[in-house]
Structure 1
Amino acid sequence: MTAATMSHDTAELTRQDRCDRCGAQAFARATLPGAGGVLLFCGHHFRNHESALAEAGAQVHDERHRLQQEVRTPER
Structure 2
Amino acid sequence: MSTTTTTVQDPALTAADRCDRCGSKAYLRVTLASGGQLLFCAHHAKEHAEALAKVAARIQDETHLLS
TM over 0.5: yes
How far off is 1:10 after superposition? 1.5
What TM-score does the superposition give when structure 2 sets the normalisation length? 0.81
Aligned pairs (5 A) from 1:1-76: 10-33=10-33, 35-68=34-67
CA displacement, residues 16-50 of structure 1 (integer Å, 9 cap, x when unaligned): 100000000000000100x2110000000000111
Aligned residues: 60
Partners in 1 of 2:62 and 2:41 — Cα distance?
Answer: 10
Question: What are structure 1's unaligned runs of at least 5 residues?
Answer: 1-6, 69-76
**Structure ranking higher in strand proportion:** 2
Moved over 3 A (4+): none
Question: What are structure 2's unaligned runs of at least 5 residues?
Answer: 1-7
SS class of match (1:11): coil
Query: What percentage of residue pairs aligned between the two structures are identical?
Result: 50
Partners in 2 of 1:50 and 1:19 — Cα distance?
Answer: 14
